[in-house]
Structure 1
Amino acid sequence: MVIDSHCHLDFPDFESEIEDVVARARSAGVARMITISTRIRQFEKIRALIERFDDVYGSVGTHCLHAAEEDDVPLETILSLASHPKVVAIGEAGLDYHYDHSPRDVQARGFRKHIAAARQTGLPLVIHARQADDDIASILEEEMGKGAFTAVLHCFSSGGGLARRGLALGFYVSFSGILTFKTAEEIREVARFVPHDRLLVETDAPYLAPVPFRGKRNEPAYVVDTARVLAETIGVSASEIGTITTANAFRLFSKMPRPDGLAAAA
């Protein structure tokens, strides 16, 4: 059993075959899929999916690439939408200095708003970080001083410094198909020092398909391939990594119910 802790099932890539995509994930042993919001004003797409499929859960938030589009969305809207029984996270939000589609001050303002939502709801924040490690870490540390919240550094592709600073704040680190790429030894080195009780796996589907599917559209079923490489990287068995990351996912996304029979084991 494994959890895809981050995918985007609301994207057009899946629209014509969503039933088959979810069915393949189930057949591969994926017990839960968390479909992550990138635009609050498109939350109805997330709502439709989480209400359609029992094993699909969701988040609410504005991706930093769209921060300028939704700078006027108030915190109260996030809090209201987060009350849905199947919304288990806030975000994704953060900083992206690679594309810089939104001004950096607007990204930072949106990031802090999402942190406030995570703090007030008790739901974990899903953090996007790209080429902004120092600013991400500084904002997280400053905001933690205002009151505790929990979070995950999703699709980890940053330096070890951000991972260590995030871990020091009590956060989790999630690995995507990037972990399986031949050029990703630095990411595998990070995976080796992350405590086992802070590890998650994800697809970020439809992006970043793991080897042997690299270059194709990603989907939740492929999270098992990333989990297998993570197991090899940290020196545990495939079944152990499933147990570890599944327990971690249910601990972090605590609003998400466990399958019958799993509670005692995890």
Structure 2
Amino acid sequence: MFLVDSHCHLDGLDYEKLHANVDDVLAKAASKDVKFCLAVATTLPGYRNMRELIGERENVAFSCGVHPLNQDEVYDVAQLRRLAAEPGVVAMGETGLDYFYTPQTKARQQESFRHHIRIGRELKKPVIVHTREARDDTLAILREEQVTDCGGVLHCFTEDRETAGKLLDLGFYISFSGIVTFRNADALREAARYVPLDRLLVETDSPYLAPVPYRGKENQPAYVRDVAEYMAVLKGVSVEELAAITTQNFVNLFSVDLSHLCSD
């Protein structure tokens, strides 16, 4: 079985108390059949530091972007494009809109979101989208900037079935995290049942949002196995089938060749 953690922040894990190093994290993941990770950046300096921490690995790819909650300072769009064009970068982001925590940066968030999509279209790299309390603006910008030219994923999906449908109409993939296992997530589980298997991804968003039974602890890529097992039950398939389909979806979206790892 081969699982992919399609969204994690490997630079945010506790390497002082919980993990010896990145090798340790990836070994724990592999022991749960999680054999590939997409390490996601949230600032441009953070992207550089993350790549230095992780190095070049056959089982980790990178995204490059500026998170909507990190719009307090203006960044250099030309630098974003240069870094995003580097080898090993398979996606733009995470980007998007978050009006829940920082509504005061709404205009800057929207401008940044548009820049990410435009660069994604130019470089032919999909966008990884975060949205909170900003559904209508998120969908509008995706349409206006013709995101179908590069594709993308709404990561850590917490919206409703209707929103899922609108994203699917845009050709988007939808990624579910440990939140789907939370007791009060009935509406999210309904959306998860609705999204077709060929548009699903699974993720941890580690170190955040650990699934049950680890809720309240630091999340890590190994726990995407728990998300996958839970999703398999919701979708009425075996975890082996869900793993195979979500891994192929990841390959299709991010144009990543995993054949050398799948044959192990």
- Shorter-chain TM-score tier: over 0.9
Structure 1 unmatched runs, 5+: none
1:188 to partner: Cα distance: 0.9
8 Å contact kept, 1:65–1:101? no
Amino acid across the alignment from 2:46: Q
Distance in 1 of aligned mates of 2:261 and 2:6: 20
TM-score (norm 1): 0.92
User: Counterpart of 1:17 in 2: which secondary structure?
Assistant: coil
Residue matched to 1:51: 55
Distance in 2 of aligned mates of 1:50 and 1:198: 29
Amino acid across the alignment from 2:76: V
Q: Deviations 1:165-215 (Å, cap 9, x if unpaired)? A: 111010000000001111111111111111111100000000000011111
Distance in 2 of aligned mates of 1:50 and 1:101: 33
Residue matched to 2:39: 35
User: Counterpart of 2:208 in 1: which secondary structure?
Assistant: coil
User: Counterpart of 2:66 in 1: which secondary structure?
Assistant: coil
Residue matched to 1:5: 6
Describe how 1:177-216 pairs up with structure 2 within 5 A. Answer: 177-216=178-217
Amino acid across the alignment from 1:128: H
1:230 to partner: Cα distance: 0.5
Residue matched to 2:248: 247
Residue matched to 1:257: 257
8 Å contact kept, 2:91–2:126? yes
1:17 to partner: Cα distance: 2.6
Change (3 A) 1:218 1:117: same
Distance in 2 of aligned mates of 1:85 and 1:94: 23
User: Counterpart of 1:239 in 2: which secondary structure?
Assistant: helix
Distance in 2 of aligned mates of 1:243 and 1:102: 42
1:101 to partner: Cα distance: 6.5
Describe how 1:108-147 pairs up with structure 2 within 5 A. Answer: 108-144=110-146
8 Å contact kept, 2:131–2:138? yes
Confirm or deny that 1:67 pairs with 2:71: yes
Counterpart pick for 1:105 among 107, 115, 122: 107
8 Å contact kept, 2:161–2:194? no
Distance in 2 of aligned mates of 1:223 and 1:180: 11
Change (3 A) 1:219 1:260: same
1:103 to partner: Cα distance: 1.0
Change (3 A) 1:36 1:211: same
TM-score (norm 2): 0.93
Across the two proteins, how many residue pairs are aligned to each other? 259
8 Å contact kept, 2:42–2:94? yes
